[in-house]
Amino acid sequence: MERAQGGRAQGERANEYDASCARCGGPVPAGAGVLRHGAKAWEVYHPEHAPEPGPPPPGDHPGWHRRRLLALDIGSTGYRPAVDRIRSAALRGSDGTAYDWIVDPGSDIPSSDVGSDARGEMGSSIRDLDGSNLPDIGSDIPPTALPPHRALDELATLVAAHLAAKELLVVWFAPYVLTTLHAELLRHGLAPLTERVPAGVAPVCDPLVLDRHVDRYRPGRRSLRSVAEWYGVPHARPGDPGSDAEAVLLVAQAVTARHPALARLSRPALHTEQVLWYAEQTSRHPGAPAWPFAPVEPLPWEPPPES
């Protein structure tokens, strides 16, 4: 990195107060050090002692991240789970499983999708929760599009079977994806996951919640694209459900490979802890949706309000 006066890289933050170097313990006068986000708080270093920004190295410890995982992602017409429609969906498994659906929501629904990397407004919270912008990814309905009841039933059947086996379902910002899926299943007269999995829609793994928990002080956005880049996870086509599902799966594994305390949790315990972590993370967002989903009733289609 190009170093500015005082040994800091251009744009790096300096310490406002006198402190001690987190590496050598020596004194660091105010304005002379470099700030780095640590596991629990900001840390101050002499410029020559500051570690390069990046996640900790992965370990080879055992844990749930080495079990069979299944990642779910959707592309939809917007961010209103009770109103908007699923236009595409994908499942990706750590065992190589891959399913993709393109859904024809009807001629009265506009032909545009928004995927995981563009989570936007839901109430007033999603933009703040994952740092996303609101781009739309255009998608004309191809001739291979399936009727909603068929595609959604196939998707829900596979997801329910995975959950019934007590294996983790990996979903980026689960409250949006699972709530939208719940509403869509009801809309088309299909059994929701709550009926297909009597023991409950669990266990769920939300890598956005995990990343915010283990690295709460990291500056910058928490969109899927940004988090994948931070962990060195390839993400070829942000916004495409198949590419997003692949990236979400790898991010879940990457976070856990770097944090043994996460890996040691049982699958039920991981689900329960995320409920608590999410509540803490959204405490300043009173409109935040419930985690991992809210059992909303579907509402009729209406165009989104003007920005």
Distance CA 192, CA 166 (A): 18
**pLDDT tens digit string along 99-117?**
999 999 876 776 655 555 5
> Quick one: pLDDT at residue 106?
76
In a 3-state reduction of DSSP, which class is residue 64?
Answer: helix
Residue 102, beta-bridge partner list:
88
How many other CB atoms sit within 10 Å of the CB of residue 275? Answer: 14
Distance CA 151, CA 85 (A): 12
Distance CA 20, CA 146 (A): 62
CA atoms within 13 A on the CB side of 265: 19
Residue 127: pLDDT band (50, 70, 90) is very low
Is residue 169 within 8 A of residue 70, CB to CB? The reply is: yes
151 alpha-carbon distance from chain centroid: 23
Task: Over range 75-102, report the average pLDDT.
Answer: 96
**pLDDT tens digit string along 225-262?**
999 999 999 999 999 999 999 999 999 999 999 999 99
